[in-house]
Amino acid sequence: MSSSNHQPGILEPHCAVGRTLTFRIAPGTDIVAALRRLRDGFPPELGVVGLGAPTVLALGKRVPGLRVFPAMSGPACSVPSTQQALWFMLRGRDRGAVFDASRSLRKLMGDAFLTVDVMDTFTYHGGRDLTRFEDGTENPKGDDAVEAAIVSEGEGLRGSSFVAVQRWVHDLARFEGFEPRERNHVIGRDAETNEELEDAPPTAHVKRTAQESFEPAAFMVRRSMPWASADREGLEFIAYVAKLEGFEQMLRRMVGEEDGQADGLFRFSFPISGGYYWCPPLANGKLDLRALGL
């Protein structure tokens, strides 16, 4: 199985730096003109474009499988929904390139979409989370990655993807206060070798989210990146999927919906945002928005 009309940033390896941006719709503006400017003027090599349900509904259209990110709660944990209209993951070799891309993007948006959030992301120690554990170890490769992340059929849909985005805030001081063995058991891997631990508790993150343990299997392509502000830091969780059901099932297990046991991640980290977005395919090197009537 192969696909050549997906947005390249979905399957490409991590870039050196990134910037996520979300936008809401400005009331009483012409979003059709803005989306046409985006379609014609956004070079796919700059990053990934995602459209949320508010944008699709504002156009009077429907993208099968797209919905609003669900808020959830579990034992001593909660997962918020902060669904927005547009999401972008800009990618670059340095912050200057990402800055320039951001300015170009805002010009395309005009006054139709208003900035809600901006966060700079970066690669840490060759692809590790700020906890120094490797991130995305179980990512599928090659054709398996295409199958997991890229929609394979449907006029105007083939080559598209869905993305689940969450911003997690880490309490690194708390995490580092755990003994090394306890840190390993929170994650479910050995920090030094990255090997999965057989004796990790059922709350270990790796056990909670084992993609092959779901029915059907919940494979996804993770492109998460760390972030850090002046007073907080964490992980911008980004997962591309062909269908959102698998990710949602995984999230429900993380909050303990199945057995009343929350994922060990919640012992030192918590999400402050959550959104689902449809990443349209490409046609002739530009965003293909036929599914939205554009």
- Kindly give the confidence (pLDDT) of every residue in the chain, 294 residues in length, as a single tens digit, with 9 standing for 90 and above: 345 799 999 999 889 999 999 999 999 999 999 999 999 999 999 999 999 999 999 999 999 999 999 999 999 999 999 999 999 999 999 999 999 999 999 999 999 999 999 999 999 998 899 999 988 778 999 999 999 999 999 999 999 999 999 999 999 999 999 999 999 999 999 988 889 898 999 999 999 988 888 888 889 999 999 999 999 999 999 999 999 999 999 999 999 998 999 999 999 999 999 999 999 999 999 999 999 999
Question: Are 159 and 1 in contact, with CB atoms under 8 Å apart?
Answer: no
Q: Is 246 a member of any domain?
A: yes
Q: Is 2 a member of any domain?
A: no
Single pTM value for the model: 0.96
Q: Is 21 a member of any domain?
A: yes
Q: Is 207 a member of any domain?
A: yes
Q: Is 152 a member of any domain?
A: yes
Q: Is 3 a member of any domain?
A: no
Conformation bin of residue 148: beta by default, left when phi > 0, alpha when psi is -120 to 50: alpha
Q: Is 1 a member of any domain?
A: no
Q: Is 107 a member of any domain?
A: yes
- For the chain, what is the domain count? 1
Distance CA 219, CA 241 (A): 8
* Residue 37 lies in domain: 8-292
Distance CA 188, CA 194 (A): 9
